[in-house]
Amino acid sequence: MEHDQKPAGPPPELKKINDTTWELPISYKKGMRVPARIIANEELIKSMDAGVFEQVTNVATLPGIIGYAYCMPDGHWGYGFPIGGVAAFDVDAGGIISPGGIGFDINCGMRLMTTNLTIDQVQPKIKQLVDELYKAVPAGVGCKGFIKISKEEFQEVMRDGAQWCLKKGLATPRDIEHIEDHGKITWADPSKVTDRAIKRGFDQLGTLGSGNHYLEIQVVKEENIFDKEAAKVMGISKPGQIVVMVHCGSRGMGHQVGTDYLRLFLDVMPQYGIEIRDKELACAPFYSPEGQDYFKAMACAANMAFANRQVITHRIREVFSKVLGRTAEEMEMNLVYDVAHNIAKLEKYVIDGKEKTLLVHRKGATRAFGPARAKDLPAEYQKIGQPIILGGSMETGSYLLLGTDSADTTFASTAHGAGRTMSRAQAMRTIKGEKLQHDMEQRGIYVHAVTMKGLAEEAGEAYKDIDVVVDTLDQAGITRPVVALKPIGNVKG
């Protein structure tokens, strides 16, 4: 759903807690069970669209919510929850699960891969690389993948995620180690996914899709390495180094799973005595049959997304090998990490001195585990914390960050990107895709897009200043920056 994202100014009830935290009290809106908090500096809070304040306080009315309803500094109007929304629900005290708190693109997420290549080796071949990647990784609405599998075999994908790719020779054991949950959410149950959702997903493995999804070749600049030791642990060791970033999710399957269960939840809410302020927040008690069915179907879509990004990674390695005449192993094309930013997970937190199991909804928000949660991280990251891949616009670049133990205050969650300031419709009205493409090429960024309208939607000026977002997260103690990454080539969905 599109909304014009016009800032209306913060509500007068908004209270400044500190330089990066703002709060709307439970008295702000009838039915709020907890206050709503927005992580932002003064500049960002003034530019927030009115939908953020409306939606984050609606979230605060949901049954079983604990602590605060949060919105991250990249926040803007979404479906149900704001984009950048985070909320945790006590599942043992009537806490709910809501598709509007996860998003239609279930397990939309980020993946970053390093190489030992340098800008001098890649820049002369950037057009060939991007054009070959465009052919190898289908993009656009409804695009189909090169991997042909039956609906029956897709059951394995839904159960095993990226681990299915390992069995098929499309992943390495090291890849699997560097994916959240090892690329497989174990509670997935394909019997909870409708035939229509399967039909929309089984032939889309290895595809980018549309909207803000992309495949980007990026360069590390010396002045953009902020923590050399942590960067080295993650495989980034030199200025001029080339990395590859992927942003995509579960495609049509995830959208259909969300649609199917939203309809179901709207029907069953009355029998559970649940009333909501916005039908986009349709929900069910987590431990209800309907809530459990959605949780298991969501996991299937999340596993499809892990497999999708893994197949794309395989194709990227093939293209780099073809264009540069070296094997992926010789180019050390290693996965740094793969992490979701549209998902709900059961996690343990200490609340008022007691450990509780909470269902943490992250909608356009990234998990940000610090070293204290080492058991959930790859071995080499256990002392430094979880890598966070924060995508920016195709003009300005992205960041590699690390989670901190202090992030537990926001249920171990942080931003997922720069965050839009313009709706897609507004961007298309004011920006010309052809001119943007030409201007970017003049600045050393070669982009191959499905449509010029789609390119205009993703212009840098349609997004917040990513440096301000990252600085705010750092100041809030939620994450710490390691490297800023600058684009030189982009395949845009």
CA atoms within 13 A on the CB side of 204: 26
Nearest Cα residue to 411 out of 88, 157, 131: 88
DSSP state of 416: -
Classify residue 9 as left (phi > 0), alpha (psi -120 to 50) or beta: left
Distance CA 59, CA 486 (A): 35
The pair of structure tokens assigned to 190 is 């394909």
Q: Is the dihedral of CA 28, 29, 30, 32 positive or negative?
A: negative
Alpha-carbon span 338 to 378, nearest angstrom = 11
Torsion, Cα 269 266 38 87, to 10 degrees, reads 50
Please count the other Cβ atoms lying within 10 Å of the Cβ belonging to residue 139.
23
What is the pairing mode between strands 21-24 and 96-97?
unpaired
CA-to-CA distance for 330 and 321, rounded, in angstroms?
A: 9
Residue 254 and residue 311 in contact, taking contact as beta carbons nearer than 8 Å: no
Q: At what angle do helices 151-160 and 289-324 cross, to 10 degrees?
A: 100
> Any idea what DSSP says for residue 162?
H
Cβ atoms of 121 and 102 within 8 Å: the answer is: no
For 192, left (φ over 0), alpha (ψ -120 to 50), or beta? alpha
Beta-carbon neighbour count of residue 29 at 10 Å? 18
Structure tokens at 4: 């014009």
DSSP label at 300?
H
Classify the C-alpha dihedral 230-232-237-240 as positive or negative. negative
- Distance CA(166)–CA(157), nearest Å, equals 11
Cα(57)–Cα(59) distance, integer angstroms: 5
Active site residues: 416
C-alpha dist (Å) from residue 399 to 226, 418, 473: 11, 10, 12
**CA pair distance 87, 100, nearest whole angstrom:** 11
Distance CA 64, CA 61 (A): 9
Residues 260 and 110: beta-carbon distance below 8 Å: no
CA distance 156 to 165: 10
Nearest alpha carbon to residue 420 among 102, 52, 12: 52
